[in-house]
A and B are shown apart, each in its own frame.
Chain A
Amino acid sequence: MATLSTDLPGGRKGAAGARMERWRAVAARWAFRLPLVFMVLFFAVPMAATVVFSVFERTMFWMEPGFTLFSYENFFFSARLENFLTSMKYSAIAVAICFVLGFPIAVFVRRSVPQVAQHRVVLLFILPFMVSEIIRVFALRPVLQRNGLVNTTLMDLGIIDEPITALLYTHTGVVIGEVLSFLPFIVFSGFLAMEAVPKYIFEVCDDLGVGPWRRFVDVILPLAAPGIFAGSVFIFVNGLGVALLPNILGGAGAVNAGLIATQAITALDFPLAMAVSAIMLATLMGLLWIGHRLFDLTRILTPLN
């Protein structure tokens, strides 16, 4: 029987195949380089530009190349530093509350919800994110305000005589907003972190008679620490940077770093806005460095391996 050959005359299939192999090799190399290119173009370069612009001279409407540390001096030796530190304090409080509320949910889902339903339960926490953040934050006002849902309910039940005014237009209001806005992040990162805790660990602890507190502190926390830390940093940095929350829920003059930068831009003080951004970036980098030294953040992805 004659054999049908699909080879083209002159060995063209062989050449085309070799070209295809070369393309594949090049494409494979770039598939790994692409994220790097993306990060350099859209993260490293803008961040470097932010630092460079922060030492430029301010002009009436823009800025001009030069070198001055005036914007940093203007930040560190003014009330802006106090505002920044205050917003750090309240962001840290929001992180703590998110951890107390959110991490047990992650542990519960990991430990008690059947494997097939775990991701669906976690998915529920994504639903609020389908609604714009500004709407979510604004919707808190009718709940927390003087004649809002919380106060009217408590007064109708006879629990309070006067409305609680500390819920809104105060630092408390901002913390409530931060917790409700960012709680899902600690749930996600906690859930991911709990993937690093094998389920049999719970059974072993039960068999050994280890109490819940010791189990949490000596077993779960060390294993889940990188994920918890990553979620906490996310909440902390957003607490510093999202200007919307102090703007809508905060009291007279409530500000965070995001609002300080926004107000600098409003006054056409672009080098100051850049300096505030650079300081926030340095804060983030510092936190990540500390976290990596303490917990080895690459362990977050261990379960995926």
Chain B
Amino acid sequence: MQQFDFNRRQAMALLTATTAFGLARPVLAQDAPLKVWAPGIAKVGGDDWTAMEAQADIAIANIAKSARADEAIQKMVVGDGNALYDAMTDNGGGMEDALASQNAIVELDTSRIPNWANILDSYKDGGGSADTIRYEGKVVAVPYISNADSLAFNYDEIGEELTTWEALFDSQFRGRAAMQNDFGPTLTNTAIYLKQSGKGSIDNPSDMTEDEVRQTCEFLIDLKKKGHFRTFWDGVQNGADLLSSEEVLVSSCWEVIQIFAARKNGADIRYGSMKEGHQSWNNVVMLTRGGQERGMEDAFYKLANVYLDPWFGSRTLAGLGFTPQMTGVGDYIEAHPDDFDADTKALLAERLTRKEERLANPGNAWQNVFPSNIRAYQDWWARVQAA
């Protein structure tokens, strides 16, 4: 065929093919799985994401993610995260600000999430946790779990309920106490104790001045020199092992660690409510800029809707012990006796009550991934380690 043999029929065929390709693109986007960069704790209903897919009526491709903020920042701000992931999870109250300020995530249209009506009051405008899902007043994240970290203790060995951080630092547990090997939660919980007990002059345990960091770390250094801490744990498995093997009797840790430790050795390992307060935190799911550009918004909103459904809330509470982010969980559990037997219902009711009690403590301080004086936190934490 010569160049000028290109006739009207061929032109029509080309036009049809182009139109068909153009129409096919959104169809392809709809059929493509939502690429979710999230840790295992973001799913319920089994070992894989099948139950989540069925509930959201979308296909999900999960890419495992650690809890490390530096990894998320590197991928999304410096690296190619937006090309790889449509949605991602991380800590609220810091990470959503960091990611939104770098244009890595986008503003959300909450009217496209029917279960937004279920969200806890604290996330609504003016609520105590409202800032943790917003950037410059706009909603950029949907919360799916939260908690107020506390003290796990071996009730079988100790024989009494512990209700104060004083116990963690008490000499009776010298060499049998542990804290997290991370300056964020460890210094925040210690600062809450020092502030509420009047032993330290600390204004905001979430965002301490250099002098407040010094006070907190000197307190820990003094204890460490006396051999108080058996170790500083790192990771769920490590933390659970410490408690289940009875290497430590008291440990400042995540609730999931207490649950795993109790399941592992069958001992009565409990998670207390501390009168001074706790470091509270949440985890949120966000739509990436890349996900929006690839037309994955519909799939994202369907998944976000599941995260605010009592179906998810009841299961994350039962499985890993995280606090649901929506109302109506109790009613849902009552209405589904086939899913939750009497013992489980009683356990969940008790767990939920304690969570609400912990979260309502006025002494709580929110987890701060990027405190203003992060350099002081780093430097003083190195001194704690060296002591």
Contact = CB atoms under 8 A, between A and B. Distances in A.
Interface in A33-81: 60-62, 74, 78-80
A253 B70 contact: no
B387 A253 contact: yes
Interface string B375-387: 1011101111111
B246 to A, nearest CB: 6
B108 interface: no
Nearest to B241: A141
A238 interface: no
Contacts of B178: 252
A223 interface: no
B10 to A, nearest CB: 47
Contacts of B356: none
Interface stretch (A13-21, A176-184, A259-267, A282-290): A259-267
B77 interface: yes
B197 interface: no
B231 A252 contact: yes
Interface string B221-256: 000100001111010011001000111000000000
A83 interface: yes
Given A61-B102, A252-B229, A247 B234 contact: yes
Contacts of A268: 69-70, 73, 370, 374
A80 B375 CA distance: 13
Given A168-B247, A267-B377, A61 B386 contact: no
A145 interface: yes
Nearest to B235: A247
Interface in A226-276: 247-248, 250-255, 260, 263-269
Interface string B42-73: 00000000000000000000000000111001
B181 interface: yes
A265 B73 CA distance: 11
B78 interface: yes
B232 A82 contact: no
Contacts of A147: 245-246
B32 interface: no
Contact of B386 (A86, A248, A269): A86
B70 A266 contact: yes
Contacts of A142: 245
A251 B177 CA distance: 11
B68 A61 contact: no
A169 interface: yes
A250 B69 CA distance: 24
Interface string B87-121: 00000000000100010000000000000000000
B379 A78 contact: yes
Contact of A248 (B238, B378, B379, B383): B238
A252 B228 CA distance: 9
Nearest to A145: B245
A302 interface: no
Task: Pick the most buried of A62, A79, A141: most chain B CB atoms within 10 A of its CB.
Answer: A79
A83 B382 contact: yes
A165 interface: yes
A111 interface: no
Contacts of B382: 78-80, 83, 260, 263
A146 interface: yes
A250 B231 contact: yes
B33 interface: no
Nearest to B175: A165
Contacts of B73: 61, 268
Interface in B334-387: 370, 374-375, 377-379, 381-387
A242 to B, nearest CB: 14
Nearest to A248: B238
Contacts of A74: 379
Interface string A179-213: 00000000000000000000000000000000000
A61 B78 contact: yes
Task: Pick the most buried of B68, B237, B378: most chain A CB atoms within 10 A of its CB.
Answer: B378
Contacts of B69: 266, 268
28 contacts: A61-B98, A61-B102, A62-B78, A78-B382, A79-B385, A79-B386, A80-B386, A83-B382, A86-B386, A141-B241, A145-B241, A147-B245, A165-B175, A169-B231, A169-B247, A247-B234, A247-B238, A248-B234, A251-B229, A251-B231, A252-B224, A252-B232, A252-B385, A253-B224, A253-B385, A254-B231, A255-B386, A268-B73
Given A145-B245, A266-B69, 11 more contacts: A79-B385, A141-B241, A168-B247, A169-B231, A247-B238, A248-B238, A251-B231, A253-B229, A253-B387, A266-B70, A269-B378
Interface of B: 68-70, 73, 77-78, 98, 102, 175, 178-179, 181-183, 224, 229-232, 234, 237-238, 241, 245-247, 370, 374-375, 377-379, 381-387
In the A-B complex, the 4 residue pairs with the closest CB atoms: A253-B385, A252-B229, A79-B386, A169-B231
